[in-house]
Structure formats: C-alpha cells, structure tokens
Structure 1
Amino acid sequence: MVNHSSPVDFLLLGFSENPGLERILFVLVLISYLVTLVGNTLIILLSTLDPRLHSPMYFFLSNLSFLDLCFTTSCVPQMLFNLWGPNKTISFLGCSVQLFIFLFLGTTECVLLTVMAFDRYVAVCQPLHYATVIHPRLCRQLAAVAWVMGLVQSTVQTPPTLRLPFCPHRQIDDFVCEVPSLIQLACGDTSYSEIQLAVSSVIFLVMPLTLILISYGAIARAVLRINSATVWRKALGTCSSHLTVVTIFYSLVISVYLQPKNPYAQKRGKFFGLFYAVGTPSLNPLIYTLRNKEVKKAFRRLLGKDCGLQGELRESCLMCFH
C-alpha cells in the first residue's frame, strides 16, 4: 500500500491563510467532538442496558453511533492539532490510515442508512409482520453486510489513491486526507482514480440513496391511503429522525464527493467536508434523542435506577451508623 516515491508527509492546509478563523474552528470542532463522544456513547449504553430498547431500530442505531465514534476519532485529534498551531503536517502513514478509515466508515454508513430505511419501511407498511420479517438474525446479517461492504470498498480504493504521483509541494487543500483532495494533489494522470471514484460514488452513494427514496416513497403512499391524522403522526414519529439524518448526511457527502472542478466549489467543499467529518456525528445523537420519546424515557429510567441505587446505599450507611 505504501508508495515509496511519495513524500514522507503531507501538509493539511485547511484555512491556514486565516489563523483567526482556525482558532474559532478549533473551539467549534472541540465542542462538536465532545458532544459526539457523550451523545453516541449514551445511545450505545441505553440501547444495551435498557431491555425496552432491544429492538431492530436501536440495534442499527447503536451500530451507527459506534461508527460515528470511530469516524470522528480517526480525524478530529489530528484536526485539532493542526487548527491550534502552525504545524499542519500529517505523516504518509497517518494520511493512509485516515483515508482507509474514511472510506471504510463512510461507505458503511451509506449502506447502514439504507438498511435502516428498509427497517422503517417494514415497520410502517407491514407492522403485523414486523417481528417476523426483521428478526434478530436478519439484523445481525444486514449490519454485517454494511460493515463488510465498507471494508471491501476501502480495501479496493485506498491503494490506487495512495499510489498517485503526488506533487512535490505536498499541500493538501483540506482538513483531512480524502480521495478528492488527494486526486487534486496529483501531478500526473488521475483518470483511473477519477473513474474509480465515479463508479464507487454511483454504487455506494447514488444506489443507496435511490433505495432509500424508494422506501420512503412506498411509506408515503401507504400513509396517504389511510385518512387518519393519528396514523400520519405515528408514521412521522417513526421515520422523521432517520429521514433527517439521511437528508443531512447525503447532502454533505454529495457536496464533497460530487463537486465540480472549480476553485469556488473546492473552497465550499472544504466547509462541507469539515461539517461532514465533525458536524454530522454530533448531530445524529441529538436528532435521535431530542425527537425520540423512547430514548428520553430510557434515559430517565437509567437515571432513576442510579438515583434509587444511591438512595439504597445512603439508607444502608445510615443504618450502619446508627
């Protein structure tokens, strides 16, 4: 995988021409990262500890939360280091690992969101057969397919990208090592990498998004056939969080990976890429917790159990004292 003719390290320019903006971004990125750690860890704990959340929806949601934790941890520490001081370097090995993880987890999230759309489709359109169709074994198989497809895509695309003939200046006009930025850094022929990027974008971006739209189209038709405001509210409550996450995620990914080749688009793409890497993992747990009554109730139950345990311990200590 390592390209011995490539430079020892790269320079992640980011917004180095504007140090004041970088200090502001440092604070925002740090806050977003802390929110990501706390929010996604909380969702994983609630989905694991609360028996009422042992359902397919929360199984997939805990997978998404674990994915977001790994995704941000692979890039945010390096990003914070580069934003804080004048040193913008990242080693070739570090860039390679970051690229591999980005492709791996980004592809996995595309497939996982499609699986979650299928889960919502069955929940709304076939509620009586939901437990039969979306059984635990199928959930594990679908989650495994998402992770394996992400691993295969990253294994296939990472080596050719790292073997590109990079320019001597080693300057990546971005915050992280991503395929579009590394293709821009190449001084030789990049046609193969561009074709590979286009094909993978169709397979792992366009096709999953198409399947998601088909699922929600079927949900909309099923709900519109029922003239009941109660059914509409339940369907909206079932799908709104996932639909919001899909809208934000795919809007940013398309802006990063399918942007036109001009300076304005590349400058704008840096902002979108930053928000994609840092913002979406912190927004996902907020969207699912603030808009989900079951998660709120599970959190209250968890706090209630903790408070009850503390009360029992306090009473025991008082009895021993007396």
Structure 2
Amino acid sequence: MGATPAEIVEVAGRDVRLSSPDKVMFPERGYTKRDVFSYYLAVGDGILRALHRRPTMLQRFPDGVGGEMFFQKRVPAKGVPPWLETARIAFPSGRTADELCPADLAHVAWAAQMGTVVFHPWPVRAADVDRPDELRIDLDPQPGTDFADAVVVAGELRALLDDLGWTGYPKTSGGRGVHVYVRIRPDWTFVDVRRAAIALARAIERRRPDLVTTRWWKEERGEKVFVDYNQMARDRTIACAYSLRANARATVSAPVSWAELGSVTPDDFDLRTVPPRLAERDPHAGIDEVAHDLAPLLEWADRDAHGGSGDLPYPPDYPKMPGEPKRVQPSRAKS
C-alpha cells in the first residue's frame, strides 16, 4: 500500500502542506502526524499566546517519538514558505541563529508538518531579543521526590508572589515538574533576570529547606525539589504552554489554575484531553494583562549578595561569567 497523499490545509489564511499524514508519531498510543497537526490547530489560541513573536527552538522527530530526534535552532535559508518569519538571536558563544518566530498559527502548523513535537520558545519577543519579558520558575523534582512535592513547593512560591503583589501562572511540565510563569517588563538583561530568579529560588529554599534546593550540582541536591534558576540564562528554554511532550503518553505541558493544581496529575493532560478543556477555559488567558516590575527581586538579590550569597554556577557550556563561583562539582574540587 502506497503512502497517503499529502494534504493542503488552510491555516490563518495560508496554505500549509501536510505530508505523510498517517505516519505514526506516538507509537504506544498510535497517534499520527495528522493527530499532532490537528492537535496544534485545536489549541491554536493557547499555544499562539505562548509562542507569539518569540524566537522558538523546535524539537523534531522526523520518524516519530522513539526515533531520531534533534533540536532545530536555525530555519533553513531555502525551501521554506516565503511568509515564514524568523528572529535573530545570539547564543552565549556569540554565534547567531535565525529561529522560527511565530506570527500566526500557520507557523505552528508548518513546524508540526516538519515533525516538531515540542516547542521551546525564548522568554523574549522579537522586538527585543536581549531583554526577557517572562520570568520562568522551573520546579524540578529530584530522585526521591515527585509531582506532589513540586505542587507543595509551588504553594510556597505562590505565597511569595502574593507578598510581592505579583500574579503567577502555573502549568504542568508534562512530566513530574511544575512551571510557573510571571510576565515582567522587558527592562532588564538576561543577567539581571537570572539574578532575580536566583533570589526568588533562595527565598523559596529558606521557607522550605527540608524540601527545596538551589544546589546546581546534582550530588548536593538530595531528595528535594530543585528550583532551576538557570532556566533564565540566555539560550535556555522550557517547553511552552500547550506544547506536547515527547513521551509515550503524548502528555501536554498544560496550564492549570492555582485552585486545581493540587488535584491534578500530569497524565490528566494529553493530546486528546487538552483540546476540549481549552475550548471551555484557558487558565493562562489573562497572562498578558500585567507585566511586573522586577526591581523588588533585584533588591532581594542585592541583600543576598551583601549577606555573602552571591552568584551561582552557570550551565557548563557557558563562557566564564563575571562574579561566577568556580564551576566544578564539589567532589572533584575536594580531590
């Protein structure tokens, strides 16, 4: 039997080609490329809110989840639709790339046609790719902890945000973790926003030292929830709201309300269950209504520095940064 013919689908007033629509993308559940494509159209309002005008890295699986995978940072110079928009970003190394920058849902559909399963947007907009407008707090359960522990930590984070008068928007990671997003004014550099993320992480750690860690080295974290402050370093991205995740169940990184966070599980949200949920309500619908002033967290960072708690290690592929402590894991440093 021959391959299923390609289809032309109109999306946002543009023709998007869908080739090999019956190719299986999620073998365990039998979801096809058409299913993935249709999913992203069904959650269009939600995912476009997360991706609009943001440089976006694509996690592609040309032969489906479980096959070859690669991260695409550069949109090819040739062979793409003339309407496809990009944004030029700079990596810590100084190299640059023209990444997909979705202006409408057709851009998302094009990426799905190319075998994209997971969307990883930068926390910036194309208008200023050096100044984040989104503070992302990644609560990452370590071995011995789980989603329920991340939910407890999220409650501590919410209390801190309430003290600041800020509104945070939680979502499942699609795995065991919890992400909380806060819109901020695009007035600060990546270095500033990362300092603020460290200050907030340390504040959560002080509230629950038994359950929370900011230790970068895995050997020091223990059975705790790691607040991954380096997600705010330049070139670090998180799967966006309404993105599928590359796992057997085809789960989704799903926005949830604070009220329901303690009563859901990551497996509640997948390719089939999220579209009808979004049709009824979107817990992130108001995320763009307020942008907060980062100054209070930078004051916390200054206070911590005066108290002897300065910078923390950057990711290993970064150039050495000013004020950064030694980037060597403690067991090796001792030896």
- TM-score, normalisation: structure 2: 0.25
The structure with the greater share of residues assigned to strand is 2
Which gives a bigger RCO, structure 1 or 2 (Cα 8 Å, sep 6+)?
A: 1
**Could you say which structure has the higher helix fraction?**
1
